Structure 1
Amino acid sequence: MNLDQRITALADRLTGLDDRWRSAVRAVPRHLFIPDRAWCDSRDRPAHLIDRNTDPEAWVDAVYSDAAIVTQLDDGATDIARGKGDYTSSCSAPAAVALTLGALDPYDGDEVLEIGTGTGWTAALLAHRLGDGNVTSVEIDPAVHTTAAGNLAAAGRSPRLILGDGSAGCADGAPYDRVHVTCGVDRIPHSWVGQTRPGGLIVIPWIPRWEGGHLTVLTPTGDGTATGRFHRAVGFMPLRSQRWPLPSLQDAYRDSMTDLDPRRVLRSSYGADIAIAALHPHVYATHADRPEGHFHLSLWSDDSDAQVHYSPEHKHVAVLQRGPHDLWDEVQDAYLRWLSWGSPPKDRFGMTVTPEGQYVWLDLPANPVTEPGGPRTPHAQRQ
């Protein structure tokens, strides 16, 4: 296919978008926002370098696939060609962009605050759909901000670009009808609630420390709070002010065993993931299948860690824990609580953000699982 055909094919594949958004995808070609060298993070093959100068066909193939294109490593400290390091800026995969823009559901003339300009592609799509003067996009990284401005100018778009910390929003221009967040957020900044009109929408990739992320759509209710539900699974780079440190521990592990299979905890349900993340928001997890049926789970927080290893050769599961928190015990307790609630699925949970913090609820905001100060037990499940 030639370039015009590729652009049209990409727009046609994004079936979650209405015709106005697909028109924006056709009018704002993605390749205008991708540098000559970048790192293609695709689900179909291992992540790899794309270079327009050495292999232009492969570069275009990657740009018009459903792949995230990573444009910065380690805040710019590492050459993108190395591919090793933390992903710190990217052009999100088209399907993820379609998911968030579809959830945004703006009216004509709506004013949108975008958190995280990145390459500028989503800002350009918003500007085409709503008008340049109705879009404000905030970017914290000076180099990324400058590059995005050049990309947008090349595409003929001129939304308002702000260099600053997106966690503070942009009070100059508030209130906004919509807030579009392009980075993962664990703790929702209340500034976004205060800068959105009552009845507006805040579309956020909620990325707690525990297992994956969830597209979250919140509506401010006019009393300083915003509430809404969790939707599709998503994955985004974290907001820079909310990156998670790894602990540096020297104390010895405490040995114990558990009868709970850690694979059940990790693979039961997105509902279990939300319950664990809500009840113990300080716990981070990674896990991996090992040869011959073995499974390993690593847990950590700012001051503790745990290792849980399942072996099909043993009746009990080995647990090692150190630091002031017994992280596996906390996770196990949260999972068993979720079971005691009737194993509610993801779509029965939601979140409310208040000036004091945020809490997760089951079925209704009046039935909290957690409060800004910590966990609690919800009422019996509602049918």
Structure 2
Amino acid sequence: MAHLADALIHVPRYPFIPRRAWAAPAAAGASGTRGRWIDRDAEPDAWWRAVWSDAAIYTQLDDGATPLTAANAAKTFAPTCSASSPSLVTAFLRHLAPGHGDRVLEVGTGTGWTAGLLSYLTGDQRNVTTIEVDAGLAAVAEGNLRSVGISPRLVVGDGAAGAPSQPPFDGVHVTCGVRDIPYQWVEQTRPDGVIVLPHAPLTRLLRLTVGENGTASGSFHEVCSYMLLRAQRRPVSRLERTEPRIRELDTDPEPLLRVPAEPGLEVLLSDLVGEIPFITGDPGSGECAGILSSGTSHATVEDGRVTQTGPRDLWDEAEEVHRAWRARGSPGLDRIGFTVTPERQYVWLDDPSVSAAHTLGMVERRLP
């Protein structure tokens, strides 16, 4: 995509990266490292290598409550702003495909880099409205953008509300994880306009097209990882202790413990069970694996036996989803999507007008 390549040349990443930050490599989980501290003054070569790499670079911790230092970044699990990896930034822009003259709403200004790229791609910085909930981050982003001669309309506020005084937009670009898609984004996008966002808790890139009837529907794409929209953060739920329910497994648990899971199964498990399976050890050696749902219920598998506790029997639910998925021919992402209407939103299978739960004849749960 030559136009996007031009944007990356004219609006490079480095002016949006602070002199000191934490670089998390794209394959951090696989490499066994969570990243490293970068300091442009102390180690300029390492700083430049990180900036030109595909690393995500953390620029804020704990909404600014914790200072961004090497020690804090190394031990925290709560980054709240980052310069996303260039491969993800370009993936979202490819799916949005903004054209010359398009009006775009961005939710989550962050460092300002994507707002700068959107300004170039649309041909006029006045076509871009970018919203940032954190006034401190907005001020830094504004300075970053001005350093490269770009000044889009930058609003400090809750991005969930969109920009009601500005529509209609041709596209909405969201840079934070979203559990429940605010219908305001659909309302503020013209028919045939596009919304791209990281859909949580999965998290996958979701591309929606707005219809004439006030609904939006579309498909899942790349795996991605983004901080949640602040208005949709939820407190950590605690496991509800109940008498453990133990049973012997009569089927092979391996398909449900595979990481990564089959993409179609992964989406359905996330929607209908609440979390995709995660492994705590090596399932091939009989070690423990488990599934969680918002922390309130838990299932562990070991030596051909499942132990379930909490209000829900998660492993039973996951097995039901797996059976239904297999019965439908093990559908992939080409048959699965997402629909947003004024009244509800849901994952669908084959038919965008009804939920996957309805298609599979299963109970549709509204997860906490």
TM-score after normalising by structure 2:
0.88
* 1:127 to 2:119 alignment: yes
Letter in 2 for 1:112: V
2:146 equivalent in structure 1: 153
**Within 2, Cα distance between the matches of 1:27 and 1:357?**
41
Contact 1:181-1:203 at 8 Å conserved across structures: yes
2:199 equivalent in structure 1: 206
Higher mean C-alpha displacement, 257-266 vs 270-279: 257-266
Letter in 1 for 2:148: A
Corresponding residue to 2:60 among 30, 51, 72: 72
Task: Report Cα offsets for 1:228-272 as digits up to 9, x if no partner.
Answer: 111222222221222243222463441313334444114241100
2:208 equivalent in structure 1: 218
Task: Report Cα offsets for 1:331-359 as digits up to 9, x if no partner.
Answer: 22222221222211122101110011212
* 1:89 to 2:112 alignment: no
Corresponding residue to 1:167 among 148, 160, 165: 160
Q: Determine helix, strand or coil for the equivalent of 2:21.
A: strand
1:269 equivalent in structure 2: 262
Distance apart, 1:367 and its partner CA = 5.0
Task: Report Cα offsets for 1:30-55 as digits up to 9, x if no partner.
Answer: 11000111111103552111111211
Letter in 1 for 2:331: P
Corresponding residue to 1:188 among 181, 184, 194: 181
TM-score after normalising by structure 1:
0.85
2:221 equivalent in structure 1: 231
Letter in 2 for 1:243: R
**Within 1, Cα distance between the matches of 2:65 and 2:100?**
41
Distance 1:51 1:236, change over 3 A: same
How many residue pairs end up in the alignment?
Answer: 350
Corresponding residue to 1:256 among 246, 249, 261: 246
2:3 equivalent in structure 1: 20
Structure 1 regions of 5+ residues with no counterpart? Answer: 1-17, 379-383
Q: Percent identity?
A: 42
1:332 equivalent in structure 2: 319
Corresponding residue to 2:288 among 290, 296, 300: 296
Structure 2 regions of 5+ residues with no counterpart? Answer: 364-368
Contact 1:214-1:233 at 8 Å conserved across structures: yes
**Within 1, Cα distance between the matches of 2:362 and 2:255?**
22
Distance 1:138 1:107, change over 3 A: same
Distance 1:161 1:337, change over 3 A: same
* 1:100 to 2:92 alignment: yes
Distance 1:350 1:42, change over 3 A: same
